[in-house]
């Protein structure tokens, strides 16, 4: 029972990770096209995704995405087509390679280091006694032991 909080924390972490990583069900062609549209930056507006914009470019891209999805093209291939045509900046989310790895990896690194530090700190606090005996306490104990020893 001493380690129960740690076990509980472990179970919560595992459940959260499994829940986050659990594959979603099949998405429809419309949903896939919309997801891709929300990942692409509208080429002729500031800070809006293709899904959120109503410019002619955004409308044309949405139609193109729907057609490509219907034609059975893979999501990665579709993204790559757009990167080839517009450059990396067409992607709202940075790629998970090159310098993009740092964007994704740095928060994880900070989290791991932070969690490690927390664990070490908690262990240290637990190992250290909460109260130290003063010399008066020690004298009191010594006297009590002496009295007990002298008892018949």
Partner 1 sequence: VRHPTRWIALGVAMVVVVVGVVLATQVGGDPRADATRSQLVGGAAPSFAVRPLEGGTLTRAELAGRAVIVNFWNSWCAPCHAELPALARFWARHRDDPSVAFVGIVRDDTERAVREYVAAKGIDWTIATDPAAKAALDFGTRGQPETFAITPDGVIAGAQIGPSSVEDLETMLAAARGKRR
Q: How many residues are present in the chain?
A: 152
Residue from the set 121, 140, 142, 146 that interacts with partner 1 by CB under 8 A: 121
- Binding to partner 1 (CB under 8 A): which residues in 33-92? 43-44, 55-57, 59-61, 63-64, 84-89
Q: Are 36 and 69 in contact (CB under 8 A)?
A: yes
- Taking the complex as a whole, the smallest distance from the CB of residue 82 to partner 1 amounts, in Å, to 9
Nearest to 47 by CA among 103, 88, 92, 104: 92
DSSP string across 13-75: HHHHHHHHHSPP-PPPHHHHHHHHHHHBBPTTSSS-BGGG--SHHHHHHHHHHHHHHHTT--H
| Residues touching partner 1, count (CB under 8 A) | 28
Q: Which stretch in 7-15, 25-33, 119-127, 130-138 sits in contact with partner 1 by CB under 8 A? A: 119-127
Nearest to 37 by CA among 15, 5, 3, 69: 69
Nearest-angstrom CA–CA distance, 121 and 7:
18
Residue from the set 113, 141, 142, 144 that interacts with partner 1 by CB under 8 A: 113
- Taking the complex as a whole, the smallest distance from the CB of residue 126 to partner 1 amounts, in Å, to 12
Q: Is 101 in the site for partner 1 (CB under 8 A)?
A: no
Q: Which residue lies nearer to partner 1 by CB, 8 or 109?
A: 109
- Taking the complex as a whole, the smallest distance from the CB of residue 112 to partner 1 amounts, in Å, to 9
Q: Which stretch in 7-15, 22-30, 112-120, 140-148 sits in contact with partner 1 by CB under 8 A? A: 112-120
Residues 117-130: b if buried by 16+ CB within 10 A, e if exposed: eeeeeeeeeeeeee
Contact set with partner 1 (CB under 8 A): 43-44, 55-57, 59-61, 63-64, 84-89, 99, 102, 106, 109-110, 113, 116-117, 120-121, 123-124
């Amino acid at each position: 029972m001493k380690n129960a909080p740690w076990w509980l924390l472990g179970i919560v972490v595992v459940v959260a990770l499994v829940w986050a990583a659990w594959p979603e069900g099949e998405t429809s062609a419309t949903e896939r096209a919309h997801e891709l549209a929300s990942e692409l930056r509208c080429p002729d507006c500031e800070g809006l995704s293709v899904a959120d914009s109503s410019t002619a470019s955004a409308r044309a891209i949405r139609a193109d995405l729907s057609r490509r999805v219907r034609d059975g093209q893979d999501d990665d291939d579709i993204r790559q087509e757009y990167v080839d045509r517009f450059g990396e900046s067409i992607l709202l989310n940075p790629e998970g390679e090159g310098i993009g790895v740092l964007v994704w990896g740095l928060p994880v690194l900070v989290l791991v280091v932070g969690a490690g530090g927390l664990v070490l700190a908690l262990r240290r606090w637990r190992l250290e006694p909460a109260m130290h005996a003063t010399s008066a306490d020690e004298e009191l104990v010594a006297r009590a032991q002496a009295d007990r020893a002298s008892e018949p």
